[in-house]
Homo-oligomer: A and B are copies of this chain.
């Protein structure tokens, strides 16, 4: 025993099976940092063949290269989304199992996105909710300077977690040394007349005017079900939501319920909803839609496929759903 430790004799020599050969080549290249030339010498093949084998191994997925980091993104998926839906941009983070809450990571991604956004928006129109609040939290102090933040849909004062909406707007503004303009109105009113009256009030009209001229929008969406914040806040009854769902509602954007085709489900209700219209989002140059989680796949699809946003920030599973790459159908059946 105690031979001179050779350099792993087992790897030299001729391998016939081409797949196995690709595996050995990949190991020597990626694990042992050998040059393609050295590998060629070792395995008795030309260095060009080594190169080709390596390319093949990557294509076939024998070599898997993964970027593991809480703030990692999925560039190829982003590109697919941009191309498929004609988006100006897309941000997709891995859905990865344990590593931190999905909502938080998507929030972080959205925060990063608006921080890097050029030109810096002078006025940023935002919705409110759990997701937006997360984005606000994740924004860094001084993420921009002098940005005016304006709410684009009615507030949620009745809510138990009252003030969240206001806090979100205020925090985003404060962290950019700007100031927030709140929309002092309920989200949905009982009568059209009241809605029209409040909209024509100087203060409200001014805010809406400001909102409609914002240089960028940042918003999320709600799911059409009992647990919606709009139910929670008393704007709608559980029965109302059931009715909306029956009519095809998949969720709400800035308080407005849409179906899978991106159309308003209940025009009567919509008439009583205060805030930016869907078309204003649709025609906006920069409208950033932030969405995370399985529950929101349907709304997300309605929004993205119908051009309501120009940028989407989401998780990989949602992106896959948008691209029809998932097998949700299969999963749903049983």
Contact partners of A20 in chain B: CB under 8 A = 71
Question: How far is A112 from B20 in the complex, measured between Cα atoms in Å?
Answer: 11
Quick check: is A282 within 8 A (CB to CB) of the other chain? Answer: yes
Q: Mark A46-90, 1 if CB is under 8 A from B, else 0.
A: 000000000001000111111111011111101100110011111
Residues of B within 8 A of A57 (CB): 67
CB neighbours of A12 from chain B (8 A): 116, 118
Interface size on A, residues (CB 8 A): 60
User: Would A74 and B31 count as touching, CB distance under 8 A?
Assistant: yes
Is A283 positioned at the interface, with any CB of B under 8 Å from its CB?
yes
Copies of this chain held together in the complex? 2
A89 lies within 8 A of B2 (CB): no
CB-CB under 8 A from A307, the residues of chain B are 1-2
Q: Kindly state the separation between the CA atoms of A3 and B82 in the bound complex, as whole angstroms.
A: 11
Contact B23 A310 (CB under 8 A): no
A13 at the interface (CB under 8 A from B): yes
* Complex interface: chain B residues within 8 A of A5 (CB): 82-83, 86-88
From residue A184, how far is it (CB to closest CB) to chain B in Å? 30
* A26 contacts chain B at the CB level, 8 A cutoff: yes
Specify which of B9, B74, B86, B284 is in contact with A118 (CB 8 Å cutoff).
B9
Bound Cα distance from A47 to B32, whole angstroms: 25
Do the beta carbons of A310 and B63 come within 8 Å of each other? no
Q: Does A113 contact B (CB under 8 A)?
A: yes
Neighbour of A68 across the interface among B13, B62, B71, B285, CB < 8 A: B62
Contact B62 A2, beta carbon cutoff 8 Å: no
Q: Does A229 contact B (CB under 8 A)?
A: no
Interface mask (A1-15 → B, CB under 8 Å = 1, otherwise 0):
111011011111101
In the assembled complex, A27 has its CB within 8 A of some CB on chain B: yes
Contact between B79 and A68, CB atoms less than 8 A apart: no
Residue of A6, A9, A31, A310 with highest tally of chain B CB at under 10 A: A31
Q: Contacts A9-B89, A89-B9, A116-B13 hold; do A76 and B1 have CB atoms under 8 A apart?
A: no
10 CB contacts below 8 A, A to B, read A1-B86, A6-B82, A6-B88, A8-B79, A9-B88, A10-B113, A10-B116, A13-B118, A64-B66, A64-B68
8 A-B pairs with the lowest CB-CB distances in the bound complex, closest first: A31-B75, A1-B307, A3-B88, A23-B69, A64-B66, A30-B65, A13-B116, A5-B82
Interface residues of A (CB under 8 A from B): 1-3, 5-6, 8-13, 15, 19-20, 23-24, 26-28, 30-32, 57, 61-69, 71-76, 78-79, 82-83, 86-91, 112-113, 116-118, 282-285, 307, 310-311
